[in-house]
Structure 1
Amino acid sequence: MAAAEGDDYVDPVTLRAQARSQRKSLGRLSILIRQSVRLVWASGRGLFVGLLVLQVAAALALAGQVLAVQAVLTAILDLEEAAGATASLWAPVLVLAGLTAVTSIIGAVQGHMQRMLGELVARSMWDQVLDVSTGVGLGNFESPDFFNRLQRVQSNALSRPYQVTQGLIAMGGALAASIGVGAALVSISPLLLPLLLVGGLPVLLTSRRESRLEFDFSVAQTPVLRMRQYLTLVQTGRDQAKEIRAFHLADWLHSRFDAAYATYLGALGTHLRRRATLSALGNLGSAIVLVLTLAALVWLILDGQVTVAGAGAAIVAIRMLASQVQALFAGVQRIFESGLFLEDLQGFLRLAEPAKEDSQGPEAPTGFAVVAADKVHFTYPGSDQPAVRGATVELRAGEVVAIVGENGSGKTTLAKILAGLYTPDEGAVRWDGTDIRAWSLASVRSRIAVIFQDFVRYALSAEDNIAIGDVSRPPDPNRLRASARAAGAAGAIESLPDGYATPLSRLFTGGRDLSGGQWQRVAIARGYYRDAPFVILDEPSAALDPRAEYDLFASLRHTLEGRTALFISHRFSTVRSADRIYVMEAGSVVEHGSHDELMAAGGQYSELFKLQAAAYLNADQT
């Protein structure tokens, strides 16, 4: 599993090489357009259709303005020849004013519609990204490459689908306007139209290079942006605030933040200068073509091929058409530039495909007689050393089994393998002899309750913090309170201002915080509420005082009511009453048995137990 997950990652150098190798062909352009339109259509088809209609209407209004200008100029010239013919002037003037007003109104309405459609697309993309981040294998979160990709998606790719659509809409509007205005210009002089169309080519050529630069810059700056974000969170986080003040870290952290920001700004300055140079060259080329077009118009006027009224209308048409042609090619550039980010996004979204397989397959049985890890190996992505090496443990129904060992011995990793959160590279987890991969892993996990040492303290109500243990159905108040009592959390919760409805965080109005030990009991209640046949408790007593720790383990069998429990601890005295104890060292199980058996064997367990006991005795004597 670890290796498979690692294969999905693409480092920045490879990503940039892939981007450069992609050709900006019409076939690729059509693929990008189809993907984006499909997404936007699903997000807000009504708004999308409305925007297209408005674009066509705006294009027709622009073409009408050219003809209206010609009609106004003709009527003005007629006034000089035939006094009193003012009625013929009012009609084209009113039409011109009306078309100008329509264009302005359409622009204002489009802005509001685009904002709403953009939010709808963003929500749709967030739905997909969150599905990936909450659905991918847990091993992904051990790799910085995954976080780099997540950062790029959050910073760029989420907005790009809509930018592609904006580019498409702009292209459609510019194309329609170009056709309408071009037709009006052809009626004045066919020679002017091809000159203006050539004027858009310099912008298109330089924009191709600009899109590459933008994507390269984003990929290169992802680690810097991640560090800047992290330093921001550290300096604004509630949990870090006390340590920042205790160690006087404010100036030091701020200087690190300034250094990260300065690095980014330096790279951004260089990047923007490159883009500005390319943009200036493209627009300069277009301006030269525009000057040549206007020179051709002057020649046509002097040659008598264009009337004065036609010349006035042609100048308006040239200016309109030049901007529309540039808008057309700019839309193409926007689509290609966004396309590089979209392909990065699609690669990220594909990470969730293996997670979908976890829901496939038959349901796991509701119970078991024996659950075992059979010679399992596991190596974290990017690591050369296995975290678990050929470990074998066995738990029978109703037993309380403990895994002990020093820090870094592989206890928690083995527990995650037994919980179905990590898939072993070798070996298997078996229920009554059947590999759990024969069933839907999602259903396997639903039969297991895990209380981690670093459990999450949700800034939600006390009721929600316990009911999170089983969100497959609405909260059951009786079961919820019974779980709180079993974990010893009921007293602390019921003393809160609003009892179980009190938010367990000072981030929100009316919220209260709990002590570390009280939070630990809430987390344990969360595991009890799940009512699963297999319970894994990873250092559940880490925040408890010795008496509370003793009471917890002493009452564990009664509280679990016959469920199987795996208890992980580095405190050997806590687990002495377990049915069986496994001792881990460097990822391997080095011995196992009951407390008495292990003490009699005189191995590592006996040595470490005596060391810990001596430390406690010496502490008591002093």
Structure 2
Amino acid sequence: ITITIVIQVWWAAIAIVVCCAPLFWFSVKSGKANYDAQRSTEKITRKHNYLSSILVNRECADERNLFGYSEKVNEKFYNEYKIGLEIRVKTLFKWFVKTKLGGALTVTSGALVVLILLNPTIQKVISIGLFISLVNAVFSLTGRMSWGLSRQIDTLVQGREFMKDMEKLMNLSETEGALDKPVYTDKVNRIEFDNVSFTYPGTETEILKNVSFVLDNGRHYAFVGANGAGKTTIIKLLTGLYTNYTGEIRINGREWRSYDFNIIKGFFSIVYQDFVKHSFTLKENCMIGDMNILENNPENRKVHEALCMVGLDKAIKDLPKGIDTNLGKIHNDGVDLSGGQWQRLSMSRAIISLAPVRILDEPTAALDPVTESNIYKIYDKISGDHLTIFISHRLGSTKISDEIIVFDNGTIKEYGTHEKLMELKGLYFEMFEQQRSWYQ
């Protein structure tokens, strides 16, 4: 019936639509402004989300209760949330007012149409019933266009802006093989750094400065030095986290950047200091080192061997379901391991891996010195035919290395065996003697 009535006064519909042009313009601008406001508060949102995690995460519970900082953190959370909310509300209110002004113009145009229709109604050219129907149709049309349509345009524009950002993300270059499983090679004969320099993106400080060294298969190397000397940065370059270095990194005589990333992943197994505690079963946590292990060893023999090598055999016996026990409180029957046991479990992933190069980045930081020494001896034994890199601040573990490379301020300060470096009486000697005094 509305369509029939509008046909009777087609000019009214055209007038209303023309008067909606400012409303459309304001709605488009409003959608873009609201999306930009949301983007501008992303860092603030991350801050208050982080503060929220401090207040609720289990990992923070001990310090939260001991130091009683919940009230202070809650205040910081409120302040950050308030800043972000004020920015969004200010933008929303500004464009809400402008949009509704445009909507008011649309409603006003409808009212003018009604006034124009009064004269033919009084002259009985239009019946009262048709007049009432036309009035309802006009205000129904203006209402939908000034309120419902403006909100829909705002939402659509925000969606369009989001898709623009999504398109930029999707157009970023992809790393070949980044999502593929590692492709393992039989052997890495040699790794060479040739005048490698590196600066982290977004910074100006050069972390590595013309670093050159050679690592040969079957030998064990220790990287030592103060924090920020460049040890871990070298591991990040080797494992593909950054490619914007200068100089050359060669693996088996071939420039590193010419390899597909899935092959790079297959070169290395790493034990990190900041390892991840996955809420999987004990077996699954170990199998992360080689996800094909279940197909090749369905009886779990290699999993048991790796866990026993890192001294978790007694822990397995104490667990209710052995290696099939769920770890973490996310499970109703989940069991939590101690910090040292979690670290041993992370080491088992490297042991079970088929990668020819093994890297230990401060893997024993949570262990006592005796256990640390035993772990290094075990790892030294089982890594006999692998190229192995140790990174450690505790220099007692460096004695098992074939060669020690001492880093200082992004350069190689010294290199050689423990005995040779002690004879030099340089930086390594100074560091070793300082640590020796801790135990005297």
**Fold shared per TM-score above 0.5:** yes
1:426 alignment counterpart:
246
Task: Provide the secondary structure at the position in 2 that maps to 1:576.
Answer: helix
Q: Verify the 8 A CA contact 2:361 2:390 in the aligned structure 1.
A: yes
Q: Verify the 8 A CA contact 1:484 1:490 in the aligned structure 2.
A: yes
- 2:18, 2:329 → 1: CA distance? 63
Matches for 1:383-462 after TM superposition, within 5 Å:
383-462=203-282
1:492 alignment counterpart:
315
Choose which of 67, 75, 80 in structure 2 pairs with 1:260: 80
1:518 alignment counterpart:
341
Distance 1:237 1:329, change over 3 A: closer
1:279 alignment counterpart:
99
Q: Verify the 8 A CA contact 2:184 2:266 in the aligned structure 1.
A: no
- 2:131, 2:45 → 1: CA distance? 54
- 2:313, 2:125 → 1: CA distance? 94
Deviation at 1:187, TM superposition (A): 3.6
Deviation at 1:451, TM superposition (A): 0.9
Name the aligned partner's letter for residue 347 of structure 1: K
- 1:517, 1:359 → 2: CA distance? 31
Task: Provide the secondary structure at the position in 2 that maps to 1:372.
Answer: strand
Q: Verify the 8 A CA contact 1:451 1:538 in the aligned structure 2.
A: yes
Q: Deviations over 1:37-95 (max 9, x none)?
A: xxxxxxxxxxxxxxxxxxxxxxxxxxxxx2xxxxxxxxxxxxxxxxxxxxxxxxxxxxx
1:348 equivalenced with 2:169 (yes/no): yes
Deviation at 1:456, TM superposition (A): 0.7
2:379 alignment counterpart:
556
Q: Deviations over 1:245-270 (max 9, x none)?
A: 21121111111112112223333442
More helix by share: 1
Deviation at 1:279, TM superposition (A): 2.7
- 2:170, 2:54 → 1: CA distance? 29
- 1:364, 1:468 → 2: CA distance? 15
Deviation at 1:494, TM superposition (A): 3.3
Q: Deviations over 1:363-417 (max 9, x none)?
A: 7854222122222222112222122222223221111111111222111111222
1:371 equivalenced with 2:191 (yes/no): yes
- 2:271, 2:310 → 1: CA distance? 12
Name the aligned partner's letter for residue 420 of structure 1: G
Distance 1:272 1:368, change over 3 A: closer
Deviation at 1:357, TM superposition (A): 6.9
**Which deviates further from its counterpart, 315-324 or 334-343?**
315-324
Choose which of 503, 512, 524 in structure 1 pairs with 2:326: 503
- 2:398, 2:227 → 1: CA distance? 16
1:615 alignment counterpart:
438
Task: Provide the secondary structure at the position in 2 that maps to 1:491.
Answer: helix
- 2:315, 2:178 → 1: CA distance? 38
- 2:140, 2:198 → 1: CA distance? 65
1:382 alignment counterpart:
202
Q: Percent of pairs identical after alignment?
A: 26
1:291 equivalenced with 2:114 (yes/no): no
1:572 equivalenced with 2:395 (yes/no): yes
1:528 equivalenced with 2:348 (yes/no): no
1:198 alignment counterpart:
18
Q: Verify the 8 A CA contact 1:204 1:330 in the aligned structure 2.
A: no
Matches for 1:205-224 after TM superposition, within 5 Å:
205-224=25-44
Q: Verify the 8 A CA contact 1:399 1:579 in the aligned structure 2.
A: yes
- 1:356, 1:440 → 2: CA distance? 6
**Which deviates further from its counterpart, 493-502 or 523-532?**
493-502
- 2:160, 2:244 → 1: CA distance? 37
1:335 equivalenced with 2:156 (yes/no): yes
- 1:508, 1:581 → 2: CA distance? 44
Deviation at 1:472, TM superposition (A): 5.1
Task: Provide the secondary structure at the position in 2 that maps to 1:334.
Answer: helix
Task: Provide the secondary structure at the position in 2 that maps to 1:211.
Answer: helix
Distance 1:334 1:218, change over 3 A: same
Name the aligned partner's letter for residue 218 of structure 1: Q
Return 5+ residue gaps in structure 1 as ranges: 1-65, 67-180, 618-622
- 2:89, 2:154 → 1: CA distance? 21
Deviation at 1:429, TM superposition (A): 2.0
Name the aligned partner's letter for residue 231 of structure 2: K
Q: Verify the 8 A CA contact 2:184 2:354 in the aligned structure 1.
A: no
Task: Provide the secondary structure at the position in 2 that maps to 1:510.
Answer: coil
Distance 1:359 1:271, change over 3 A: closer
1:94 alignment counterpart:
none
Task: Provide the secondary structure at the position in 2 that maps to 1:505.
Answer: coil
Choose which of 228, 232, 240 in structure 1 pairs with 2:48: 228
Q: Verify the 8 A CA contact 1:373 1:428 in the aligned structure 2.
A: yes
Task: Provide the secondary structure at the position in 1 that maps to 2:412.
Answer: strand
Q: Verify the 8 A CA contact 1:410 1:587 in the aligned structure 2.
A: yes
Q: Verify the 8 A CA contact 1:371 1:431 in the aligned structure 2.
A: yes
Q: Deviations over 1:510-568 (max 9, x none)?
A: 11111111111000001112221111110111111111111112222321251211111
Distance 1:424 1:485, change over 3 A: farther
Q: Verify the 8 A CA contact 2:27 2:99 in the aligned structure 1.
A: yes
Q: Verify the 8 A CA contact 2:223 2:231 in the aligned structure 1.
A: yes
- 1:356, 1:304 → 2: CA distance? 78
Name the aligned partner's letter for residue 603 of structure 1: G
Return 5+ residue gaps in structure 2 as ranges: none
Task: Provide the secondary structure at the position in 1 that maps to 2:363.
Answer: coil
Name the aligned partner's letter for residue 270 of structure 1: K
Q: In the comparison of the two structures, how many residue pairs are matched?
A: 435
1:471 equivalenced with 2:291 (yes/no): yes
- 1:332, 1:413 → 2: CA distance? 49
1:240 equivalenced with 2:45 (yes/no): no
Name the aligned partner's letter for residue 350 of structure 1: N
Q: Verify the 8 A CA contact 2:282 2:323 in the aligned structure 1.
A: yes
- 2:287, 2:184 → 1: CA distance? 23
Q: TM-score, normalised by structure 2?
A: 0.91
